[in-house]
Amino acid sequence: MASYLLERSPTVRRDRLESKYEHLRYARLATAAQRSPEFGPYDGLVPAAGAKQLASILIPTGPALEPTSITSTTQPVTNAVSASRLETLGTCPRKYFFQRALGIRAPDLWERETNAWLSPLQLGSLIHELFEEFLLDLTARDLVPNVARDSQPLQSRLDELLRKWAQQIPVHSQDAFDRRRNELMDTCEIFLMKEQEYCQQRQARPWIVEASLGSPRKDRSIQTANPVINQATNPLDCDTPIELALTDGRALRLAGRIDRIDRLLITGSERYVIWDYKSGSNFGYSQSDPFAQGRKLQPFLYVGMLRHRFEQLDRDPDAVEGFGYFFPSPRCEGLRLEWSTVQLSRGEEIIRQLCDLLTSGTFIATNKKEDCGFCDYAPVCGPPEDLVVISEMKAQAPGNPTLDAWRSLRHG
Ligand code: SF4
């Protein structure tokens, strides 16, 4: 070591150090490559990862990277891709690479949470379960939500559900539990009020609750007292992945769970709208920009899946009117964002751009630092401010043809 430190020539010293500690050479090359306008392996260009065969070499037991295939009648359909997986790719290809190609997962941390009872994920599950149970009961009786009639029963159902959840998820603080309960009571009130208003205005009736398309229906995490609800299925459920054909000949194999489908009566004809409940905030969602530059794909994909399912069942696919998000939390005050099938039609172009990213193995970092906000990989990625500047510099530089799909995705 002394001989390294005493060496006067920086180049010789560096070469000696790098011959001993090889990772230092890679770090130097990576830093230099990131500063150059060229987009290369150190920025996320990994063509091998785009191909199924090579992807399986990278992750021998992992899932295939490319989620598309030419539709074939001889090849059985195996795995299916979810909207959230494609949304990860559209949000940040580098994140997708870490998650899907390298299979890196953040460790599960066990923290005793005393300030909040239920994580955001658990809160979402509980709300979905509550509304599912409530609406299954209503649809079985051919009713639409009504504040005067349903307010008390819905709050009683909530209390019953809270008791069951509290048996499985320990309550460390009564204050935290009470705060969560109050928030959920307000959510129920907003939900009912907005549902009554919406059903009246749109001549809508909840039709299907929790349709499982493309994958087997999962058992409920917590069973209700009503066996009919526990075993509820519906005519749309199907185990086989749904194929969504793209105009370039490829086809996506999709799976997803639709929270709810409403039937609308419009000038005597029946139309259908998909609704997805969002228990969190509406950050990142915009009525004027349904795709958020590839970050939001669920509306387009779910409409496509339902149209396909309708075709399989000899129903009219054009009866699928559109897709909406419903945010019933007190923070969002029952906000609804809704797009027609026509407004979502550009989704196909975006899906093709995402597939092109995978095909060329382009796993560039996002160009928006907000995407890094809750990302598990932030500790290994570096400061988001620097990442987005580098990403944008590469995208703006002339050349780099593998970035064409990315440029189109982000800059139109
Ligand atoms: S921290 Fe940012 S750039 Fe890094 S993987 Fe996450 S979203 Fe992508």
403 C-alpha to center of ligand 1: Å?
Answer: 17
> Residue 12: what pLDDT?
86
Mutate which of 387, 392, 406 for ligand 1 pocket (most atoms within 8 A of beta carbon):
387
Q: Is the CB of 89 under 6 A from ligand 1?
A: no
Instruction: Please check whether residue 227 lies inside any domain of the structure.
Output: yes
Residue 289 pLDDT? 95
Q: Give the Cα separation of 330 and 332 in Å (integer).
A: 6
Residues of the chain short of pLDDT 70, as ranges, are: 1, 50-79, 109-114, 218-233
Q: CA geometry: angle at 321 spanning 292 and 299, to 5°?
A: 25
310 lines ligand 1 (CB under 6 A): no
Write down the pLDDT at residue 224. Answer: 53
Task: State the DSSP H helix or E strand holding residue 392, giving kind and residue range, or none if neither.
Answer: helix 384-396
Task: Decide whether any atom of ligand 1 lies within 6 Å of the 365 Cβ.
Answer: yes
**410 found inside a domain:** no
Q: Collapsing DSSP states into helix, strand and coil, what is residue 335?
A: strand
39 inside domain: no
Dihedrals phi, psi of 109, to nearest 5 degrees: -95, 135
* pLDDT score at 179: 96
The torsion angle over the Cα atoms of residues 199, 205, 206 and 207, rounded to 10 degrees, is -160
Residue 277 lies in a domain: yes
Please indicate whether residue 388, judged by its CB atom, sits closer than 6 Å to ligand 1.
no
Q: Is 397 within the bounds of a domain? A: no
Q: What does the pLDDT read at residue 52? A: 45
CB 39 within 8 A of CB 402: yes
Alpha-carbon span 82 to 301, nearest angstrom: 9
Closest CA to 412 of 363, 368, 350: 350
User: Ligand 1 centre from 366 Cα, in Å?
Assistant: 7
Kindly state the tokens that stand for 133.
Answer: 């149970």
Instruction: Name the residue at shortest CA distance from atom 7 of ligand 1.
Output: 372
Q: What is the CATH classification number for the domain harbouring 200?
A: 3.90.320
Per residue in 249-267, pLDDT (tens digit) is: 878 888 999 999 999 987 7
- Residue nearest to ligand 1 atom 2, measured at CA: 372
**Domain for residue 162, yes or no?**
yes
Protein residue closest via CA to atom 5 of ligand 1: 95
CA of 106 to the centre of ligand 1 (A): 13
**CB-ligand 1 contact for 384 (6 Å cutoff):** yes
Please tell me the total count of domains within the chain: 1
- Phi, psi torsion values for 273, nearest 5 degrees: -125, 135
Kindly state whether residue 167 falls inside one of the protein's structural domains: yes
- Please work out whether the CB of residue 132 comes within 6 Å of at least one atom of ligand 1: no
Query: 297 Cβ partners below 8 Å, 6+ apart?
Result: 83, 86, 87, 90, 291, 347, 350, 351
The residue segments making up the domain with residue 241 are: 120-349
Q: Is residue 65 part of a domain?
A: no
265: β partners: 270
Ligand 1 pocket residue status of 390, Cβ below 6 Å: no
Count of other CB atoms within 10 angstroms of residue 398: 5
